[in-house]
């Protein structure tokens, strides 16, 4: 009898632990420093790092680089008279199981640094999905978020 009760409690604990919600974790945080005077910037992609379960994936990093280069083409190709901000992108994916289904926690961190290495803007974003970073839809979603947030920051810098 005691073994059955212990087994039932153990199973119940595992079921409850697999249903723990991460709703208390903020999905997005950001920091920005807007210059006092109106400044028009151009953007240069400095580095893109993608890791999947603690293993660097250069092919995925190249895909994200090319998507970013296309999305930010007008900001990259601005004339050389503008000040330059350097974009660093880092995407990390961790796989885990929720119940019997595999989920992926994808963490995006990107920042804009000036010529002196000072942070002008940085942001982090977390999504949880059954899709992997290998999914083109997820890559596009992340690059589109980067594009929108950087453009919003640069508009603030021009005012």
Question: Which parts of the chain are beta strand (E)?
Answer: 28-32, 41-52, 55-56, 83-98, 101-113, 119-129
Q: Provide the token pair at 41.
A: 């910037």
pLDDT tens-digit map of 72-130: 999 988 877 778 999 999 999 999 998 899 999 999 999 999 988 899 999 999 999 89
80 in Cβ contact with 121 (< 8 Å): no
pTM score above 0.75: yes
Compute the Cα dihedral for 136, 137, 142, 143 and give only its sign.
positive
pLDDT tens-digit map of 13-52: 555 554 444 444 557 777 777 777 888 889 999 999 999 9
Q: Provide the token pair at 54.
A: 């603690």
Max CA pair span of the chain: 80
């Amino acid at each position: 009898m005691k073994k059955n009760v212990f087994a039932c409690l153990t199973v119940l604990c595992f079921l409850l632990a697999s249903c723990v919600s991460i709703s208390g974790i903020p999905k997005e945080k950001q920091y920005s420093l807007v210059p006092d005077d109106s400044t028009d910037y151009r953007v240069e992609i400095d580095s893109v790092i993608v890791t999947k379960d603690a293993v660097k994936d250069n092919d995925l990093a190249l895909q994200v680089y090319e998507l970013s280069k296309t999305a930010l083409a007008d900001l990259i190709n601005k004339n050389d008279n503008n000040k330059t901000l350097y974009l660093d992108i880092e995407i990390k994916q961790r796989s885990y199981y929720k119940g019997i289904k595999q989920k992926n926690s994808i963490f995006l961190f990107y920042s804009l640094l000036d010529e002196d290495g000072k942070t002008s803007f940085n942001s982090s974003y977390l999504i949880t999905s059954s899709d992997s970073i290998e999914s083109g839809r997820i890559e596009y979603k992340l690059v589109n978020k980067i594009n929108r947030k950087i453009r919003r920051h640069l508009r603030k810098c021009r005012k």
